[in-house]
Structure 1
Amino acid sequence: MSLRLSPTFRDRLAGASRPLAGIWVCSASPLVAEICAGSGMDWTLIDMEHSPNSLESVLVQLQAVAAYPIAPVVRVPFADTVTIKQVLDLGAQNLLVPMVSSADQARQLVEAVRYPPRGRRGVGSALARSARWNRVDDYLQDADAHVSLFVQVETLAGVEAAGEIAAVDGVDGVFVGPSDLAASMGLLGQQTHPDVVAAVHRAFDAVRTTGTPVGVNAFDPGAAQAYVDAGASFLLVGADVAILARASEALAARWVGGADAPERASY
């Protein structure tokens, strides 16, 4: 039996005629992941950095969304070779790695997602969902075609090195994170501060000169559209838990007299 894997997020970006919009799945729930997968969004981020996700919960979410045309991206909690190997073996084809601030870090990550002699990924395809237990022909030889790597720039150092990071062979996209970037600039919680927005634009400009796709996180519709206008190829525009929180607050305001509740940030 021979099986085919889905196109990577890299391939989808290359063939897109517009920016690809995505939604976070932070609840660690396969049911919620499936609901989001059927929403019509282009991609979803299954988050292991700021969410209660384990390898097991990521696996069942990947299985839950597999029946839908959405592209799942898994954000690992940190740049750890062992964790990356395990997440790849689960069958994640698209990885996002947070807090990448130099080209050297990016090169190490490329090595972590590639088999020797081009990298350091451990070989276990016969045991893993990634190759469908050796049901994908020539998986080991073609593994690079089945995996896409995106790195997250979210510090001032990362912004200054964004062009060098994007130019690393094997980096398929750079994702800018305004929240941690604002914190690194001493502007905690001020993602739309003019200085933060200017830094995001600097990163955009540097990445785009290399021909590498650049993306951003922006839950505020106005900010999201402005980043699209500035050249974002992909973006995250909402999160399952934030949608539930804001919608339940709106219900409370309407039916429980919650008008006195404090306003919530959209990020």
Structure 2
Amino acid sequence: MARENLNDLAAFLAVARARSFTRAAAQLGVSQSALSQVVRDLEARVGLRLLTRTTRSVAPTEAGERLLQEIGPHLDGIHAGLTALTALRETPAGTVRINADEHAVTAVLWPALRTILPDYPDIRVELVTDFGMTDIVAARFDAGVRLGEVVAKDMVAVPIGPDMRMAAVASPAYFARRPPPRTPQDLTGHTCINLRLPTHGGLYAWEFEEAGREIRVRVEGQVVFNTVSMILRAALDGFGIAYLPQDMVQAHLDRGELVRVLEAWSPPFPGYHLYYPSRRQHAPAFAVLVEALRYRG
């Protein structure tokens, strides 16, 4: 393949990974029609159809999948090598993409970033929030943030926050109607506020611990949310017992707006870690953020 066609290969790679001409065009900063023409020209030169197109989706053909696997690592390496040249700049610059859940963003990441970023005006940070166990390599993130106990062993994990504790809480009005639970098993007789996780497509089973033995309780209630901020709101409004990070509810406990139960069954556990692949060569902007976010107790 001629050198001048490296851009065409990069265009094909973007579409094949995004599974969409629209999303790939937005990433590359070109029009959808121009991108489609580039891919058609590439297919004409190699004499094979590389992408299967329908009105709703785009997917690599067998030939396209093979080309994707062959050229992807090489083009990524070229990109990483060029990105590393920014180390020669006096000021770190570039975009860092981080995937994290809602609580990690609000409790740890943003409080740190809002003090760091003014010192590095050429660094841009994109925070994408979800509860799923996103494959950060496949989704082209520079890093992810998850609790220390769930980070994959083949990742570099950097602590960015203290140990955490969960808290079972409800409003005084709720407990005026129902006696507080004395054991986690008692929760099955209470109205609870559930969190739906995208992983496994189910509801989060509340995790407790007694004498080193883990107890999981599946609770029932009238409302289910997929954001912890709405679970807190519903608890304050008296809709039942919620199970949330202690730091998120502490101010409400201090003001008497919430009452905590089952505290003895919620010991501390490893807090949030920033994680990323060890094999990836990172830009100076990323290195700056890793060191700035690192939790030092």
TM-score normalised to structure 1 length: 0.23
- Highest relative contact order (Cα 8 Å, sep 6+), 1 or 2? 2
Q: Which has the higher strand share?
A: 2
Structure with higher Rg: it is 2
